[in-house]
Structure 1
């Protein structure tokens, strides 16, 4: 079954949203008699009643509600296409409200945002630093950068992959001298460990096994903390073994304060995501910043 005129679906959506033909006439400027004819033609093509209407009542049928959802989605996609074209013709400008963790800002964004703003001089950025997961809609955040081992998308949020952060298992030379260098993942149980997260939810360490399989190790940490810098400093002082982002400890590895452990079983990377509300018509400034960050993250990973 095909529909001769997709405009009829759009008009149907407008009538439903207005709550009647008279109100839709006021909203659209299209005579209600014409709206009624177009909806009747749509019903005839589909072979179903979409609206029960009388002189005193206007009710959308169950199948009409289903058709409305699809018609609304079609209209939103069309509007998004128009917005995309309009954005491509205009220089990005305006304010972007952004969120990231403190460490992400220190390691990456602090240096990159200056480059971005030189490229797009009409864009302003407000960066909120927080280690919690912000509510993008409630807090009016346009873009959040988050690292996660699991997908972060939801009904209201789109998660765009930007890269894969390299992870590495590290310990201090003194700790390895005291407890011995582990040869297998199972040997990690013999060493004191540090943990990222909370007492109720310590993040497991993930490795690539000898046959390419994913191997998880659930540490029983002496110290549990969310902050990666605190974990790095505790590891330097011999408090335990910890899996960290490479960029957060590469200077300490180069200086010898930390050593890589079990490098024959590479740590599995953590996904870097750009999160943004799943709304129609992303502003050009947000789109430009998201594309720029994807370019930069992929250049370092």
Structure 2
């Protein structure tokens, strides 16, 4: 097993471009660094740096070895930080960004409990329905509801939950137009649509069958409350997240049609910049939110349609 201290010496010498500069950074004589590097080269049996009194060059093998050594040191530091983080009480400011529906209906009851559990953490919640660049704008955590996969964007993504979409209509509309028995029957009904949906829905049957249907465009909105109210008013069929419709279905204000079919619904994802996600305060808040929000939704959450 290689000595991690020797790996540290090698990485520092390469990073600083020589023994003298590395010695000043580490407060270690350059002769000691040279000796440690020689011991490392002897242990692995290859030359890592070609050096004379006038030249310094990392060998090809040395460059490959450097990448792995640097990565190993980063992981060692991260492991140490995990232990330190668990021993210390989380403290500091954690900045969270979320859309208005998530903030009002999901975070509003959770964040006060979280603040009580961690009295040394100061929470700052920014509510905005615009797309927020969490890295550039300095946020620690973002919570987003989305239909399409989110871009990687060099952030940690933790999927919290997924809510399949149901086909719903008012009892009056179903009495007037009849209850469809096949997915293809949706093509003969009025659709309450999202402008960006292309006027069609992709439906998935419990047996794995997938079909695309295109109802007659009747009403457009890019926000779920508006679509729900249009369905409630009897304008046609809407395709909405199940947990959002369930209370109204239980109350008899909406009916779920074709219950064996669902459409891709809304996904809730928590995002963190890689480095900030290692801070004890951010990790504590993220873990708390994931635990709370992963539970089955109670009641109707409002969801913006992107």
Q: TM-score band, normalised by the shorter chain?
A: 0.7 to 0.9
Distance change >3 Å, CA 288–CA 280, structure 1 → 2 = closer
- Which of 229, 238, 243 is the aligned partner of 2:225? 229
Aligned twin of 2:162: 164
- Which of 201, 214, 217 is the aligned partner of 2:212? 217
Alignment of 1:137-216 (within 5 A): 137-148=135-146, 152=150, 154=152, 156-196=154-194, 199=196, 205=201, 207-211=203-207, 213=208, 215=210
- Which of 105, 120, 140 is the aligned partner of 1:122? 120
Structure 1 segments (4+ residues) deviating >6 Å: none
Question: Which stretch has the larger CA shift, 185-194 or 46-55?
Answer: 46-55
Once the two structures are superposed, residues 165-187 of structure 1 have per-residue CA deviations (whole angstroms, 9 ceiling, x without a partner) of 35433223343344432222232
| Runs of 5+ unmatched residues, structure 2 | 298-306
Question: Which stretch has the larger CA shift, 256-265 or 112-121?
Answer: 256-265
Contact kept in structure 1, 2:192 and 2:219, CA below 8 Å: yes
Alignment of 1:98-113 (within 5 A): 98-113=96-111
Distance change >3 Å, CA 217–CA 61, structure 1 → 2 = farther
Contact kept in structure 2, 1:151 and 1:159, CA below 8 Å: no
Q: Distance in 2 between matches of 1:275 and 1:126?
A: 16
Q: Distance in 2 between matches of 1:203 and 1:17?
A: 57
Contact kept in structure 2, 1:202 and 1:224, CA below 8 Å: no
Which SS does the other structure have where 1:146 is aligned?
Answer: strand
Q: Rg bigger for which structure?
A: 2
Q: CA deviation at 1:245?
A: 2.5
Once the two structures are superposed, residues 205-238 of structure 1 have per-residue CA deviations (whole angstroms, 9 ceiling, x without a partner) of 5554242x26363657555544333332333334
Aligned twin of 1:260: 256
Once the two structures are superposed, residues 99-158 of structure 1 have per-residue CA deviations (whole angstroms, 9 ceiling, x without a partner) of 122211222111111111121222221122233442221111111112345654736211
Aligned twin of 1:38: 36
> What TM-score, normalized by structure 1, do the two folds share?
0.83
Q: Distance in 1 between matches of 2:209 and 2:128?
A: 30
Q: Distance in 1 between matches of 2:50 and 2:243?
A: 63
Contact kept in structure 1, 2:98 and 2:128, CA below 8 Å: yes
Aligned twin of 2:294: 298
> What TM-score, normalized by structure 2, do the two folds share?
0.82
Q: Distance in 1 between matches of 2:159 and 2:102?
A: 15
Please give the root-mean-square deviation of Cα atoms over the aligned residues, in Å: 3.0
Distance change >3 Å, CA 79–CA 253, structure 1 → 2 = same
